[in-house]
Amino acid sequence: MNTPELLIFDMDGLMTDTERLAAKCLKEVGHTYGYTFPKTLFDKINGMDNRRIGSVFRTEYGEDFPYEQIYAEKRKLAAAYIEEHGVPAKPGLHDCLAYAKSRHIRCAVASSTPLTRVRQYLEQLAVLPYFELIQSGEEIERGKPFPDIFLTVCNKLGTEPAKAIVLEDSANGLRAAAAAAIPSIWIPDMVDIPAEVKKTVWKELQSLLEVPAALEELR
């Protein structure tokens, strides 16, 4: 494996510490509606886009589950936190992106989060200029764990999948990378991943701080 031409970053749970925030807000709102959401549910939905998450909740709790209302209230809670405290960045984010720039490695985002929110968060963190492309799952018919979002990024930037690396925290994101035949780096966040998914990962790192050294090994 050679030095990649392109790094494809997930956002929530990988660049921003917002996966935990979303889970906390969802649990709080769920309690007001009389629902308790177990960890296994978050393991299942982590990395999915809003459409697929809604489908999972209705499968688990029935077709009358008020997902849209709960989601809207969860977003209000999360937005209020962000407005007061700012977007929480993951350790090593700026160093990782600066390294990629110094090595002339292109960077893109492939996130299940809506495009406007991705841009908002990255602007607040002052990292938006590092990325040549931001691809949101809301623009893709089949979100993670399907490979479409990563293949779309590679196609738009004219990069062969084998010459890219995906950075992910979720099992669904890693499944999508494997299905796209793109090597991946797993940086754990709030959920573990199944053993069969771990087998598809090129490297497991503890934070973005470790990414530059891992990529230097390929030079």
Give me the residue spans of the domains in the chain: 6-17+88-216, 19-85
**What average pLDDT does the segment 173-193 reach?**
95
**Burial class of residue 155, CB neighbours in 10 A (0-12, 13-18, 19+):** exposed
Which residue reads 């090129």 in tokens? 202
Q: Which tens digits make up the pLDDT trace of 120-159?
A: 999 999 999 999 999 998 889 899 999 999 999 999 999 9
Question: Taking the model in full, what pTM does it have?
Answer: 0.93
Q: Which tens digits make up the pLDDT trace of 64-93?
A: 999 999 999 999 999 999 999 999 999 999
Question: What integer pLDDT is reported at residue 47 of this predicted model?
Answer: 87
pLDDT of 95 above 90: yes
Name the 3-class secondary structure at 130: helix
41 Cβ partners below 8 Å, 6+ apart?
Answer: 56, 60
- CATH H superfamily, domain 6-17+88-216: HAD superfamily/HAD-like (3.40.50.1000)
